[in-house]
Amino acid sequence: MLSPQAVVFDMDGTLVDTERVSQASWRRAAADMGIVLPDSMLNDFVGCSIPNARTMVIELVGDVQLVDRLFSHQAELFLAMRDEDLEMRPGAFEAVRALHDAGLPVALATSTEREHAMPLMERFGLAQFFSMTVCGDEVERSKPEPDIYLEAARRLGTRPEACAAVEDSVNGARAALAAGMVTFMVPEWAEPTPDVRSACAGILQSLHELPALLIG
């Protein structure tokens, strides 16, 4: 059992099953526009910022205007599908509530902009448990850079090394590890790379496992 002073959660793919909806919207948008996005690229989108994903697609397609139309179409599809199909990841509510009830400060560090992230946290009843949130539009560099986790620790008033981080993606895990946090990964789409697997404190099958590891 570890004894962190705070726990910092990613949102997309970790607490909320947005990656499943995102993958479906990317496949549909690409098909609608006659673009073939390889599975490897779709996997690389997991935990990736929009600007970085856009750069990848421009390198593949070579037509900036077409890529702009693709991203606009995908965003429309994603928002429509999110309102109907989005669910929490298994064990998310129970894990966050258990850590909060045990007296651990629980924070959110999501690449999603605040105007989109907080309504989801309210929708699923999770916002009440978070003592602090950092969103993607509040830091300069996106994951896998450590900025968002360093800012989370700063706002918590805690050293990064004293925090546990929970992620679903390789990019997210690398960000938390680079910040110095004890990192747990709960993969949804992309399996951990060997370097991430060896550096993480644990690779979990679901969030149901987390409270026992942190509070017994």
Q: Indicate if 10 belongs to the active site.
A: yes
Is 147 among the residues known to form the active site? Answer: no
DSSP the chain: ----SEEEE--BTTTB-HHHHHHHHHHHHHHHTT----HHHHHHTTT--HHHHHHHHHHHH--HHHHHHHHHHHHHHHHHHHHHH--BPTTHHHHHHHHHHTT--EEEEESS-HHHHHHHHHHTT-GGG-SEEEEGGGSSS-TTSSHHHHHHHHHHTS-GGGEEEEESSHHHHHHHHHHT-EEEE--SSSPPPHHHHHHSSEE-SSGGGHHHHHH-
Catalytic residue among 10, 17, 147, 168: 10
Which is the catalytic residue, given 12, 17, 147, 168?
A: 12
* Active site positions, annotated: 10, 12
